[in-house]
Amino acid sequence: MLDLSTVYLGHKLRNPIVASSSSLTNTPEKVKQLEDAGVGAVSLRSIFEEEIEGEIEGLERQEGHTEAWDYIRSAEMSHGLDEYRQLIKGSKAAVSIPVFASMNAKSSSFWVDHVKVLEDAGADGIELNLSLLPVDYHDTEEKIIRFYIDTVKQVKQRVSVPLAVKIGYYFTSIPSVVDQLHYAGANAVVMFNRFYQVDIDVRKERLSSMSPISAPSDYVIPLRWVMLTYGKTPIDLATSSGVHDGRTVVKMLLAGATVTQVCSTLLKNGVEHLDTMRSELEGWMRENGYSSVDQFRGKLSQKRSNRPKSFERIQYVKTVAAHA
């Protein structure tokens, strides 16, 4: 019998496929559907700082006494957090697989001040979605990394559940950032945030949004960096973006991923596609003589290369020579 289990954020998952934070995980009923479809764990839809601020701003536009605004802001924040608390509790009651909470905010004070609520509600772990995109020339990389590290340290002082940090790939040295996050207290890093791309409608002369759905080819960026990071730090590595089928799950595991997060392929094909992905993973393992995912995790990482120092250079030369 094949063993697809893996350990992520301190929890044993029945397989390495995790439903990422999205509309697919915004109710306990949907979380239950994902469990029934065979997912290994779920990351609940994110609670957004702007989402709560939007409710507050809507009230502030109404006429009223200015001295009431502090009370309104506090009440609205509590209301948004209470709804999310109920999502965690309801999901935990509905399923037996691990349920991870997700926070997406633009200020460290939001995470630090409210993260304890998620732990108290019963979340098995917390994913901090650090989706900062530097656009100010005053924001040096050192300053941005310090924000990440300080936030993680402060959050870890307030909660005891495992912590994952979802980052973007706009760093000079991703392995260095991952290692610093590990020493700050993070238990896992998710590669990567998808920064939704903007386009321009030349006919109407206005900005337009591109599709938030990932393409199957998007997997190559997280694949590359998991391959280069695996084995250099004890932190769990999760990949996100472009994982649309079971063979891509295999690629991520060979590169060194602990788990792979999926979303777009389930939005396009339905949650029942999880069964197909799992069957493809199992089929590949049988064909290649593996009985567990641990047997081949990281097999094609830089760490396992017989020439690790020239690993990246060799791949570059092979690619250029093949198309010369």
- pLDDT, residue 16, reads 98
Helix (H) or strand (E) holding 196: none
Segments of the chain scoring below 70 in pLDDT: 50-79, 131-135, 196, 306-324
Say how many C-beta atoms besides its own lie within 10 A of residue 37's C-beta.
Answer: 18
φ, ψ of residue 12 to 5 degrees: the values are: -80, 120
- pLDDT, residue 110, reads 74
- pLDDT, residue 315, reads 56
C-alpha 123/C-alpha 93 separation (Å) is 11
Q: Which tens digit of pLDDT belongs to each residue from 55-106?
A: 545 544 444 433 433 333 443 444 578 899 999 999 999 999 999 999 987 7
List beta partners, residue 127: 102, 164
- pLDDT, residue 73, reads 42
Tokens encoding 23: 């509309």
**Rounded (5°) CA angle 245-260-223:** 85
- pLDDT, residue 324, reads 52
- pLDDT, residue 69, reads 35
Superfamily of domain 6-322, CATH level 4: Aldolase class I (3.20.20.70)
CB–CB of 158/185 below 8 Å?
no
Percent of residues, the chain, with pLDDT higher than 70: 83
- pTM for the structure as a whole: 0.86
